[in-house]
Amino acid sequence: MKSATDYLADANAVVPRLSVEDAIAKHEAGNSIFIDVRDSAMIAETGTIAGAVHIPRGFMEFAADDSTALHNPVLQKDADILLVCAAGGMAALAGKTLADMGYKNVANIGGFKDWVEAGGKIES
């Protein structure tokens, strides 16, 4: 039987962790899609990365499946997708889901607090 720790270890083995500095550089270059997987209440409280798409962790499978009416068209299998959450765990799990669904360029940029502390652009 698997534990939450096991699922997180599996996700971290598949989804690379990008430093916040590298993520900010990718944000400034404008060629990546940033996805915030936190819940709406947390985003309302803290804001999010400027231009980030909000897809809650619990909805990722539906948003990523291009054969459903719930597919989010921003999710393209060859896009450079960078995921953020509160501390990195949910972003890793969401990234593993995307990798399992055939997405090729997915990375975990960790927690939103780290983004803010590093001077990354945010919006309310």
Residue-wise pLDDT tens digits, 77-112? 999 999 999 999 999 999 999 999 999 999 999 999
The per-residue pLDDT for 7 is 96
Residues 82 and 62: their CA atoms lie apart, in Å, by: 18
Share of the chain above pLDDT 90, in %: 99
With tokens 């927690």, the residue in question is 111
**What is the average pLDDT across 10-23?**
97
The pLDDT of residue 5 is 96
d(CA 39, CA 42): 6
Structure tokens at 14: 């598949």
User: What's the predicted TM-score (pTM) here?
Assistant: 0.95
51-84 pLDDT per residue, tens:
999 999 999 999 999 999 999 999 999 999 999 9
Give SS3 for 115: helix
CB atoms within 10 A of CB 42: 15
* Continuous segment of H or E residues that includes residue 112: helix 112-117
Angle at the Cα of 17 from the Cα atoms of 116 and 119, rounded to 5 degrees: 15
Are 16 and 108 contacting, i.e. CB atoms less than 8 angstroms apart? yes
